[in-house]
Every structure is written in structure tokens, then in C-alpha cells.
Amino acid sequence: MASIEENKIGKIRGTYQEKRSGKTYRIARQRRLKRWKDSKDFFVVPKGYVHNIVNLSAPINFSFIEYTNDVLEYLKVGRENLKNHNAIRFDVSKIEYFTPEVIPLLISHIKEISFNNKVPIHGNAPENEKFRQIFTQSGLYNYVKSKKKYKIAENNLLHKEANFKVKPDIAARSVEMIIKNCNCNQEYVEPIYNIFIELMSNTHHHANLKQYGYSKWWLYVFHDETTKKISLSFLDLGVGIFKSMIVRTYLKKIGRSLKLVDNVGLVSDLLSGKVQSRIDIDNEIRGKGIPQIVEYSKLECFEKFLLITNDVKIDLKTDKTEKLTSNLRGTFYYIEFKNYNHE
Amino acid sequence: MNLKIIIMNNLEIHVATEFNKALGARYIYEGQFSGQQFLETLLSPRFEEAKEKKVKLVIYLDGVLGYPSSFVSGSFGKLSMSHGAESVLATIEFVSSNSLRIEKIVREITKPIKK
């Protein structure tokens, strides 16, 4: 037995020695040594690459749907610091008011290379017990490095789609969760399901100007145990709807280039499907997704239905439009469902 | 004289059982169970067969979570564009407990183009 083992080892050693004596191996080794001696190898991290850690205290009212400009400004400051190779700390410890849709907004930015610039981002949790619980049970900690692992609340779902796909199974799971928790009538299953698919599909086509199907999307379904309300946040950090659309009317085109027509002026065209995306295939039959979302948004089962993209915030329930002072590089939908449990 | 009577049965598609309960978006590259996949694997071959045999194609729509616009447009809309709305509506019959579903698909077949 021993001699068989020795033979085997001898064979392996022989093959390795033969490989080492080969020309290709010798050249590669010489190059490796040269790189190491010159200290230009990739594993040598240049000193001062990360200048320092900047603590960024979150706005006291940390709500993206209610204090949109403040939250966007907060992200903007973070982006600028990261661009200058300053590591940042998202300090949310002192927040006094909080709505859960900021969780997918924060994590999506943290994970986005165009935002983080490959510079470390640190963070903490709110001191307020209720907010802390929402934070830890959201699933956010599954996407960051943390000493502690937290269990995700039963009726919460935080999903990142990195394969750039429309996921009918995720949509089905979310619809089931929503219907079960708000005790919705079954007639709303179809509109809610269709909305999910249209949101995912729009991301696939409109999020990136150079290549469709390139941007990631995030989905967060949150069930508030206290109010028993369920909300849905869906976002992508692409270019945003207004940046991805082509203005059809000649006058508006000129107006836009001269900055006489801003994005708010294009909202009605967007909602009625009169705008065209930059994707050039099947344009004559495409463009029905957003009008369908708008139509569904008026249904009774939705208490809130917001769309925030670029510098525009649209309340799809009331058609109220607001021009933002800061810009969201991407598209964000927020839907709050009516709770039928009390009826 | 012996008369041979051949009864031609209608063709059927049960979307929920033969395709999927959760339908996807428009194109195959967008993900699973897309309108394009439905068109290429089920709808178009059965439609051709029904036309050839001069029978109806009965499509059972129930048991599915929803019919997203992009799915309907990528399947029924595309079929209508390639064969004409009249021919499609003459061959296909829809069965559903939800009349809005049928209306939505018929609308897409009648007017597959946006404007």
C-alpha cells in the first residue's frame, strides 16, 4: 500500500517539477518577482487612499416619502464625501421620526458602486427602540458586514435583484404576503401582481441608457406590526425615468434643451404614455406599462402611491406633482396598502 | 353509402396549468414566463394548428395571478400584428370568470399599436 502511495506522490511531484521547469512558468515567476520588487503590485494599498471617516448624522425626520429633499440632500453629501475618498458613517442613531422606505434607499446606495466609489461605508442603528427593531428586522443586515446576525421579521421581505430580471415568483410571493396581511379582496390580486411585473420590467428597460437589463432593483415589503399596515418600496438606481425618455413633441424638445421646460412639465405626457423610452425595439407596441400603473394607482386598496424619479415627486393618487431641490439618480415607487382588517 | 363523419375538436390552452400561474413580462431575455415565450411555445403553434384544422382555439385564462400589459402585448398583441386582428378574433375564444381580463386581451388584439 505504502509503495502505491509513494508512487502517486512521486508522480504528482514529477508533474509539478516539470511544470516549474517550463518556459511559461519561469516567465510568469520572473514577472511576479519583478512586480513585487517594484512594489507596484495590486495588493499594495496606496497610503492615504481613504482620507478619513466622516460622520454623517441623518436628518431627525428620516423619511424619504415625507422629507424627500432632506433625505436626498443627505445622500448627496454622502456621495460627495465618497467621491473624495472619505469613508462615511451613516449615523442614524439620533433620528426622531422614521419611515421604513429609507431602508431600501440606504442599502441600495451603500451597495451601488457608482455611489460608494469602493470606499468603505459604516453605519449604526437608531437608538429609538421601535426604529431599531424595524432596522434590524428588515433584512438590511444580510447585505452588510455586521458582528451580529438578526432574524428578519416574518412578514418583511427585502430583495435585491442582481440578475436584472423580471421575477414572477418574487411578485407572486409579495402579492400573497400583501393580500394576507391587509385582508384585501381577491379582486385586487390581479392589479397588484400586474403592478409588480410592470415595475420590474420598466427597470429592466429604462434604468440604464447604454444597456438595458443592466440596473439592479430593490424591493422591500414592510408589515407594520403596530398599525398592521403594509407598504411596498421598489427602486432602482439607474438614470431615472425623465433622463431615459425621449420627448416627442418638437416644441417640448426645444424647450427642454433650452431648459424652458422642466421635468414637471413632462409629467402629464409620462403618465399618459406619450413619452418614448430610448429602447428602439417594438416602440409602436410598447409604452403601456406606466399608464397601466397610473390607472391601477387610483384603486381603493392603495392608500398612498408615490413615484419619485430625478427631480420630480408625483403622488399618483392625487396627481399632485412636486419639483425637488435635489435629484434622485434612479426611480422609486412607494405604495401603501389599505388595511381591511378593521372593517 | 357509408358517411364518415369527422368531428373536429376545438384546440385548447389552459394558461395556468400548461404555462404558469405567475406570468412574466414581454421578452424572454427579461425573465421566465414572458409573453414572447408564451407566444412561441404555445399560442402561435396552437393558433396555426387551429387555423389549419379550421377549428377554434379556446384559451382558459383563469387560475393565473394576473395578465400584465407587457405580457399581453408581447403575446396576443404580437400575434395580432402578424396575423391580423380579425383572423385572431375569429379563431380564438376566451374563457374566464373575469370579463375584464377578456376585455383587456381583446382590446390588445384589436389595437396592438400604441397610437
Residue A196 or residue A184, greater confidence = A196
pLDDT at A45 (0 to 100)? 42
pLDDT band of A172, cuts 50, 70, 90: very high
pLDDT above 90 (res B50): yes
Residue B110 or residue B112, greater confidence = B110
Q: How far does A200 lie from chain B, in Å, by closest CA?
A: 8
CB atoms within 10 A of CB A2: 6
Q: Which residue has the cell 435635489?
A: A326
pLDDT above 70 (res A255): no
Helices of type H across A144-284: 168-182, 189-206, 241-244, 250-257, 267-271
pLDDT above 70 (res B3): no
Q: Which of B22, B30, B77 sits opposite A285 (nearest CB)?
A: B77
The residue extents of the domains of chain A are 51-151, 154-343
Question: What CATH class has A154-343?
Answer: alpha beta
pLDDT above 80 (res A56): yes
Q: Once rounded to an integer, what is the mean pLDDT over residues B17-28?
A: 94
Q: Which of B31, B78, B114 sits opposite A288 (nearest CB)?
A: B114
Q: Once rounded to an integer, what is the mean pLDDT over residues A124-138?
A: 90
B93: domain range?
20-110
pLDDT at A41 (0 to 100)? 44
Domain count, chain B: 1
pLDDT above 70 (res A43): no
Q: Is A129 helix (H, G, I), strand (E, B) or coil?
A: helix
B44, burial (CB in 10 Å: exposed 0-12, middle 13-18, buried 19+): middle
Complex ipTM value: 0.89
Note whether B25 contacts A288, CB cutoff 8 Å. Answer: no
Q: Once rounded to an integer, what is the mean pLDDT over residues A41-50?
A: 49
Q: With respect to residue B43, please indicate whether it lies within any of the assigned structural domains.
A: yes
B25 touches chain A (CB under 8 A): yes
pLDDT above 80 (res A200): yes
Q: Are A165 and A203 in contact (CB under 8 A)?
A: no
Q: Once rounded to an integer, what is the mean pLDDT over residues A28-52?
A: 63
Per-residue pLDDT reduced to its tens digit, A133-151: 898 889 888 888 887 778 8
pLDDT at A279 (0 to 100)? 53
Q: How far does B111 lie from chain A, in Å, by closest CA?
A: 9
Stated as kind and residue range, the H or E segment containing A258 is none
pLDDT band of A17, cuts 50, 70, 90: confident
Per-residue pLDDT reduced to its tens digit, A277-333: 555 555 555 667 788 899 999 999 999 999 999 999 999 999 999 999 999 988 999
Q: With respect to residue B4, please indicate whether it lies within any of the assigned structural domains.
A: no
What would you report as the CA-atom Rg of chain A, rounded to the nearest whole angstrom?
25
pTM: 0.80
B42, burial (CB in 10 Å: exposed 0-12, middle 13-18, buried 19+): middle
Q: How far does A241 lie from chain B, in Å, by closest CA?
A: 18
pLDDT above 70 (res A106): yes
Q: Which chain B residues are Cβ-neighbours of A201 within 8 angstroms? A: 25-26, 30, 68, 70
Q: Which of A165, A282, A288 sits opposite B69 (nearest CB)?
A: A288
pLDDT at B35 (0 to 100)? 95
All 3 cell numbers of residue A192?
397588484
- How large is the angle between the packed helices A2-21 and A23-38, nearest 10 degrees? 70
pLDDT above 70 (res A338): yes
